[in-house]
Chain A
Amino acid sequence: MDKFDDFLKQVKTGAVDLAMKLFKEYQDTAIKESETFIATTTADLERWAKLLITGDLTREEFEWLVKGKKNLLDLHALKQAGLARVRIDRFRNGVLKLIVDKAFAVFI
Chain B
Amino acid sequence: MKIRTLNVLVPLMLYVFQQGCGPSISLFNERAYNLATSLKVETVTLMDKATEPFDKYAEQVEMLTVNLKKAYEYAAGRADNELSAEQWRILIDPEKNLAGGFFKRWQEQQTLNKIFIDEARRGLIAPAFDLIIGLEAGKIKPEQAKIVGE
Contacts and interface: CB of A to CB of B under 8 A. Distances in A.
A51 B122 CA distance: 14
A101 interface: yes
Given A82-B138, A99-B16, A75 B115 contact: no
Contacts of B115: 51, 56-57
Given A88-B24, A90-B140, A78 B87 contact: yes
Contacts of A88: 24
Interface residues of B, number: 46
Given A56-B115, A57-B116, A89 B97 contact: no
A76 interface: yes
Contacts of B44: none
Given A57-B113, A89-B25, A96-B147, A75 B87 contact: yes
B99 to A, nearest CB: 10
Interface residues of A, number: 43
Contacts of A67: 96-97
Nearest to B25: A85
A13 interface: no
Interface of B: 1-2, 4-5, 8-9, 12-13, 16-17, 19-20, 23-25, 83-84, 86-87, 90-91, 96-98, 101, 105, 113, 115-116, 119-120, 122-124, 127-128, 131-132, 134-135, 138-140, 145, 147-148
Interface of A: 3-4, 7, 40, 44, 47-48, 51, 56-58, 61, 64-65, 67-72, 74-76, 78-79, 81-83, 85-86, 88-90, 92-93, 95-97, 99-101, 103, 107
28 contacts: A3-B5, A40-B127, A44-B122, A57-B113, A57-B115, A64-B101, A64-B116, A65-B97, A65-B116, A67-B97, A68-B97, A70-B97, A71-B96, A72-B98, A75-B90, A78-B135, A79-B83, A82-B138, A86-B139, A89-B23, A90-B140, A93-B20, A93-B140, A96-B16, A97-B147, A97-B148, A101-B148, A103-B13
